[in-house]
């Protein structure tokens, strides 16, 4: 699916439980950065610093948006048709190519102890068949791992800026391996869309080794004994991945693709794996339904509904039978408990009815609808912030009486499109957003400049009296009633 096709709809969102109301700082901060479109925004919760990934640029920012460290990642001589290292004589199609940031993740280190690895920032770009590197979390200018001569098992991200890649870092216990004692094993589970150029045999979901790495093993490599999703024809599994999350002992992927077997329509699916399952025997997927014809997931967040973990998914209605999202969209919530129950049931039916075919992955799931749990929300006020590319950040209050209520929006100064990720700071009073400031250069079809903004979540204290405060219906403003202002 083309990324350009998700044009006029909701891109992604973030969930928070309403914290005790506090006066928020009304001033908004922002910083303009090169590298549009900025695709990823990541918070290091231990120090409050931000990492930003865009085209040809990576940044490390303080919580007040000061640039601490900046790395240029492109453009470099490359071609999706050639395997790295790129040598101009051997690759006539190689040209200076922009490097789109495809994955930006934190790899937690082992227990902090002297001499131990303190964890790293994982960065994967679209160049060189999507290879990845590790950088220091304390200073991204310091490279921890990169290979100049990658092998084909180390290609991770899609080599096409339009094809999505998602991933999640998990830690499991390893059995004793040759030359290595058993112990902690860190893996990267990757969901990647199909690309028509370059190596065409990379499965949609693969497991990659992160740590420990001792020769002949390599970081990010897809080893024989690590799991991968075996599918018949790669181009048929043209998954558009939206999210990968770890929850409990499982890893979940959210994606949309054409239902090849039945309706031929695009649908959204959730799939699940046991984190410790190196063979992917536990793989199961179920279609996600969102009543009202919303068939394409656009963004997702694993949140918490008063102690009940739930997947919040922004869904858009597709244009006819295409993967192109229209502006008609909705928020659907699925509790993980219900999702797990549906998957368990799908597995049972699968095994008892002998539907499992070891070579055909499509046999491994049963068409079983997960109904939307939008109508079963516990009694808690849940505020959902939704970033869109046509309007400001939307604020939606999910009410105990089963309804959602769009109560307002946060204006991001000068900003247009809200990109990639939305993040809350530790106090939950500010949200970090990526925006396009719509400054365009005739030579560049894309905006030349973008910014990271830090926006107060509530505008309560901008109101001078309680009545006007209440009139904006901001759930953060309960405090102002009690305090008489």
Interface residues with ligand NAG (CB under 6 A) are: 68-69, 139, 141-142
Cβ at position 397, least distance to ligand NAG in Å? 41
Could you tell me the two tokens for 38? 């900025």
In terms of CB distance, is 139 or 279 closer to ligand NAG?
139
Cβ at position 138, least distance to ligand NAG in Å? 7
Cα distance from N-terminal residue to C-terminal residue, the chain: 50
- CB-CB neighbours of 160 under 10 Å: 21
In terms of CB distance, is 138 or 322 closer to ligand NAG?
138
Question: What are the φ and ψ backbone dihedral angles of 470, each rounded to 5 degrees?
Answer: -65, -30
In terms of CB distance, is 65 or 311 closer to ligand NAG?
65
What does the alpha-carbon distance between residue 430 and residue 427 come to, in Å, rounded to a whole number? 7
What does the alpha-carbon distance between residue 369 and residue 374 come to, in Å, rounded to a whole number? 15
Kindly write down the DSSP assignment for every residue of 375-404, as one continuous string: T---SS-EEEEEEESSSSEEEEEE-TTS-E
In terms of CB distance, is 137 or 267 closer to ligand NAG?
137
What does the alpha-carbon distance between residue 368 and residue 285 come to, in Å, rounded to a whole number? 10
In terms of CB distance, is 18 or 68 closer to ligand NAG?
68
In terms of CB distance, is 42 or 343 closer to ligand NAG?
42
Cβ at position 92, least distance to ligand NAG in Å? 36
Per-residue burial over 285-302, b = 16 or more CB atoms within 10 Å of its CB, e = otherwise:
bbbbbbeeebbbbbbbbb
Cβ at position 68, least distance to ligand NAG in Å? 5
Closest of 61, 67, 31 to residue 48, by C-alpha: 61
Neighbour-count burial of 172, counting CB atoms closer than 10 A to its CB (0-12 exposed, 13-18 middle, 19+ buried): middle
Cβ at position 440, least distance to ligand NAG in Å? 32
Cβ at position 145, least distance to ligand NAG in Å? 15
């Amino acid at each position: 699916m083309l990324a350009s096709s998700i044009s006029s709809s909701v891109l992604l969102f973030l969930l928070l439980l309403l914290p005790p109301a506090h006066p928020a700082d009304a001033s908004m901060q922002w910083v303009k950065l090169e590298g549009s479109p900025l695709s990823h925004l990541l918070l290091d919760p231990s120090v409050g610093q931000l990492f930003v990934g865009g085209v040809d640029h990576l940044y490390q920012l303080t919580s007040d948006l000061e640039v601490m460290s900046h790395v240029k990642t492109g453009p470099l001589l490359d071609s999706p048709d050639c395997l790295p290292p790129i040598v101009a004589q051997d690759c006539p199609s190689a040209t200076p190519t922009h490097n789109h940031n495809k994955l930006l993740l934190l790899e937690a280190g082992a227990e902090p102890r002297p001499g131990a690895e303190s964890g790293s920032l994982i960065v994967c770009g679209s160049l060189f068949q999507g290879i990845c590197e590790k950088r220091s979390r304390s200073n991204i200018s310091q490279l921890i791992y990169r290979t100049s001569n990658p092998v084909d098992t180390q290609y991770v991200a899609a080599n096409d800026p339009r094809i999505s890649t998602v991933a999640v870092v998990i830690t499991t216990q390893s059995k004793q391996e040759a030359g290595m004692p058993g112990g902690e094993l860190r893996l990267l589970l990757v969901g990647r869309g199909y690309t028509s150029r370059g190596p065409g045999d990379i499965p949609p979901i693969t497991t990659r080794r992160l740590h420990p790495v001792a020769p002949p093993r390599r970081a990010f490599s897809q080893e024989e004994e690590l799991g991968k999703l075996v599918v018949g024809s790669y181009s048929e599994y043209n998954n558009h991945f939206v999210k990968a999350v770890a929850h409990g002992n499982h890893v979940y992927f959210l994606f949309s693709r054409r239902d090849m077997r039945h309706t031929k329509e695009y649908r959204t699916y959730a799939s699940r794996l046991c984190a410790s399952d190196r063979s992917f025997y536990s793989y199961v997927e179920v279609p996600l339904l969102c009543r009202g014809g919303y068939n394409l997931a656009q963004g997702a967040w694993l949140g918490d509904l008063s102690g009940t973990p739930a997947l919040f998914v922004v869904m858009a209605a597709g244009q006819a039978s295409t993967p192109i999202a229209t502006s008609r969209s909705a928020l659907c919530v699925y509790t993980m408990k219900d999702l797990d129950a549906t998957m368990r049931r799908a597995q049972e039916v699968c095994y008892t009815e002998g539907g499992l075919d070891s070579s055909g992955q499509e046999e491994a799931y049963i068409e079983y609808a997960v109904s939307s749990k939008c109508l079963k929300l516990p009694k808690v006020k849940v505020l959902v912030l939704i970033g869109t590319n046509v309007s400001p950040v939307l604020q939606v209050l999910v009410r105990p009486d089963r309804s959602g209520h769009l109560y307002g929006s946060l204006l991001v100064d000068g900003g247009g499109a809200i990109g990639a990720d939305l993040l809350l700071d530790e106090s939950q009073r500010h949200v970090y957003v990526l925006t396009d400031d719509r400054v365009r250069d005739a030579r560049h079809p894309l905006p030349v400049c973008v910014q990271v903004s830090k926006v107060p979540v509530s505008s309560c204290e901008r109101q001078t009296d309680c009545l006007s405060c209440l009139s904006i219906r901001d759930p953060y403003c309960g405090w102002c009633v009690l305090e008489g202002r």
